[in-house]
Amino acid sequence: MSTEVILEVKNLVKHYPITSKGIFFKKEVVGVVHAVDDVSFSVRKGETFGLVGESGCGKSSTARAILYLDPPTSGEIYFEGREISRVFKSKNHQEILKLRRKMQYVFQNPYASLDPRMTVADIIMEPFVIHKHVPKERGHARLYGLLELVGLEDYHAERYPHEFSGGQRQRICIARALAVEPKLLIADEPVASLDVSVRAQILNLLQELQQKFGITYIYISHDLSTVRHICHRVAVMYLGKFVEIAETGALFNSPLHPYTQALLSAIPVPDPENKRCRIVLPGEVPSPINPPSGCRFHPRCIYAKEHKCIESTPKLVDVGNGHWVACNKVNKG
């Protein structure tokens, strides 16, 4: 793994407007969902960067904003040193395609992200048609190469998605993403809908592909045990903000933010004799429409009172060895 940065995100903000209902009247914006609020991070070449958090914390919104699937409200995203929103805004079709080729997305639900009326061959070869990087006569050879790569057989090419199991479909999605030889692959909960035994197969496949091609991954998940297994660095999100970024080992062995600590202690461990003291968080995640003031975690945090977290918003601060934390308690001492 090099220290070269492939993707840099600066002050990314993504707000979704809530409009009033109405067919005849003009729609008015009545509120804003603060999905992602001022997030900055960088991803190094060849690493797996994990994005962790509970549902609704803005993991997927961040990923979609990076790929410009939902244009960010504000902030800058640099991919290989180039500001991507400038490329997308230029409406230069060739440039956009070039950029899209380098960044690919594997969606959470393999049942919904494959066109049911296309055969596997059509699905995987569609990128060749769009990007024209593989000449027509070599298309089929590449197709079989890709199928082999993800552990499928040649005869699968003529089948339709409904003939496959969830694990196999996810393999097809990965093959489709790899068809354009991307530099960055965003995997959005790629194993969430799969069974345990199949989950292990897909995780191993992702690791093998990374070793072979040096692809950079952004791995999004709410399942911390798979994150620990596959990621090099992990960022923990809560209500649209990063609360902690660290190397995987450091994060799991010595989490600093109270939310990370609670999150880690909440994971059930498959060992009945492991009696850890569990931190059970009170209450639920607040609404991102009106996020709490100050530190967004303060209504559920046991340290909030003594550190005036209601008023002061903590900043992400480096506490050494690339371990960043946004917490008033940690930052003060």
For residue 270, state whether it binds other proteins (rule: CB under 8 A): yes
In one letter, which amino acid is 187? Answer: A
Touching other proteins, residues 40-69 (CB under 8 A): 54-55
Q: Could you say which DSSP state residue 232 is in?
A: S
For residue 229, state whether it binds other proteins (rule: CB under 8 A): yes
Touching other proteins, residues 274-333 (CB under 8 A): 274, 278, 280-281, 284-285
For residue 271, state whether it binds other proteins (rule: CB under 8 A): yes
For residue 198, state whether it binds other proteins (rule: CB under 8 A): yes
Q: How far is CA 321 from CA 101, 199, 235, 262, 317, in A?
A: 33, 32, 15, 22, 12
103-106 and 184-188: which strand pairing? Answer: parallel
Q: Give the whole-angstrom CA distance, residue 120 versus residue 136.
A: 17
Compute the 3-state secondary structure of the chain and give helix, strand, coil in percent, each to the nearest 5: 35, 25, 40
Stretch that binds other proteins, among 28-36, 111-119, 257-265, 324-332 (CB under 8 A): 257-265
For residue 207, state whether it binds other proteins (rule: CB under 8 A): yes
For residue 226, state whether it binds other proteins (rule: CB under 8 A): yes
Helix axes 120-131, 139-149, angle to 10 degrees: 120
Q: How far is CA 25 from CA 18, 30, 307, in A?
A: 15, 14, 47
Touching other proteins, residues 236-255 (CB under 8 A): 249, 252
Tell me if 120 sits within 8 A of 171, measured CB to CB: no
Touching other proteins, residues 101-120 (CB under 8 A): none
Q: Give the whole-angstrom CA distance, residue 260 versus residue 243.
A: 8
For residue 273, state whether it binds other proteins (rule: CB under 8 A): yes
For residue 203, state whether it binds other proteins (rule: CB under 8 A): yes
From candidates 81, 268, 320, 333, binder to other proteins by CB under 8 A: 268
For residue 137, state whether it binds other proteins (rule: CB under 8 A): no
For residue 267, state whether it binds other proteins (rule: CB under 8 A): yes
For residue 153, state whether it binds other proteins (rule: CB under 8 A): no
From candidates 85, 201, 261, 312, binder to other proteins by CB under 8 A: 201
Q: Give the whole-angstrom CA distance, residue 19 versus residue 27.
A: 6
For residue 211, state whether it binds other proteins (rule: CB under 8 A): no
For residue 196, state whether it binds other proteins (rule: CB under 8 A): yes
Q: Which is nearer to other proteins, 226 or 328 (CB)?
A: 226
The separation between CA 11 and the C-alpha centre of its own chain, rounded to angstroms, equals 17
Residues in Cβ contact with 215 at an 8 Å cutoff, skipping those fewer than 6 apart: 46, 182, 183, 184, 185, 209
For residue 30, state whether it binds other proteins (rule: CB under 8 A): no
Residues that bind other proteins (CB under 8 A): 54-55, 165, 167, 195-201, 203-204, 207, 222, 224-226, 228-229, 249, 252, 262-274, 278, 280-281, 284-285
